Amino acid sequence: MGILSFILFLIVAAACAYLAERLVPNVVPGGFFTSVIVGIIGAWIGGNMMGSIGPSLAGVPLIPSIAGSALFVFVVSLCSRGFRHRHV
């Protein structure tokens, strides 16, 4: 994978992360950039677990990337919800 392919992967995965963040009702703490990082990791996991199902853009399978990002954003938001409600 060359540098241009990697940059295109990051851009497409960030767009998939944005869509995934809009699909998931909970919010990831840290704002948009944290959501993008979590979404990129989720897109990578989704792409590796589901393979290249459906259309792809710049070598990134869109359906697995969106599904993996949505699942990972959801899990992170559930885990972080427990930390937000604690008061000492």
Contact 45, 68 (CB under 8 A): yes
Q: Read off the pLDDT of residues 24-70 as tens digits, 9 standing for 90 and up.
A: 766 667 777 777 787 778 878 888 888 778 887 777 788 887 788 87
Give this prediction's pTM.
Answer: 0.71
Number of domains in the chain: 1
Q: Which structural domain range is residue 68 located in?
A: 3-84
Would you place residue 83 in the very low, low, confident or very high pLDDT band (cuts 50, 70, 90)? low
Count other C-beta atoms under 10 Å from residue 88's C-beta: 2
